[in-house]
Amino acid sequence: MSDTLKLYHAPRTRSVRVRWLLEEMGLDHEVVPVAFDKRPAGDEAYAKINPMRKVPALEANGEVIVESLAIMEFLLNRYGPTDLLPAVDDPAYGRYLQWFHFGEAGMGVGINMLLAHTFILPEKARNAGIAAWAWDETSKGLEFIAKNGLAEGAYLAGERFTAADISVGYMLYLLKLIGKLGESSESVQAYFKRLTSRDAWAAASVVD
Ligand SMILES: N[C@@H](CCC(=O)N[C@@H](CS)C(=O)NCC(=O)O)C(=O)O
């Protein structure tokens, strides 16, 4: 592959998803650190890459793409075929798509609200009612993963690790960071251990 891939990244953020996928696919890439200790993230130069100053952003041969799942889809399709993406005629394809999007579309609102109202907002701006609702939504998602997602195999699309596990696995990582993963079922915790025993995870989750 002669393409140039630059990942704008901050540890612990959704750019970990993209870094994890790049590692799993063995794609050469440059990691460009984005300062995340204050808001807005990054500097004026980064604002030219992503005017919202959120991470991740991927620059592929000069073209910038944001949204972690869109970037993942781009990498999977452009640099595949790969076992991480079931083919459209694979019986696991629908299930794969469901879980791939569940990571952000299904779990994002609850987890973002939970983070905001327990950690990110200044204490006096936090709302206990919103935090409780957010945890309830998140718990429903965790139960769905345990009862439906892991019912048919070790991974969400079946017996094989796919990009859907990266999408959802990142959200479990966020819950672990805020001390809430321990409140999920044993099967979800065992699944998270399975995911995080991968070499690509170790490389992607490094806090450098
Ligand atoms: N849906 C987007 C979310 C991007 C996002 O909100 N990233 C967070 C880090 S996980 C961020 O950069 N937050 C900084 C901010 O909102 O100022 C994605 O999946 O890429």
Whether 16 is in a domain gets the answer: yes
Confidence of residue 107 (pLDDT cuts 50, 70, 90): very high
Residue nearest ligand 1's atom 14 by CA: 54
C-alpha 159 to ligand 1 mean position (Å): 30
Whether residues 101 and 191 share a domain: the answer is yes
What's 186's domain CATH number? 1.20.1050.10
Global pTM value: 0.98
Question: Does residue 53 share a domain with residue 103?
Answer: no
Tokens of 181: 């993963």
55 CB less than 6 Å from ligand 1?
yes
- The domain in which residue 12 lies consists of 5-82
Q: Is 17 in the pocket of ligand 1 (CB under 6 A)?
A: no
> Mind listing the pLDDT tens digit for each residue in 30-70?
999 999 998 899 999 999 999 999 999 999 999 999 999 99
Determine, yes or no, domain membership for 88.
no
Q: In terms of DSSP bridges, do strands 30-33 and 5-9 run parallel, antiparallel, or are they unpaired?
A: parallel
Neighbouring residues of 21: CB distance < 8 A, sequence distance ≥ 6: 72, 75, 76, 84, 163, 166
| 26, 59, 82 - which closes a domain | 82
Residue 52: exposed, middle, or buried by beta-carbon count in 10 A (0-12, 13-18, 19+)? Answer: exposed
Q: Are residues 102 and 193 in the same domain?
A: yes
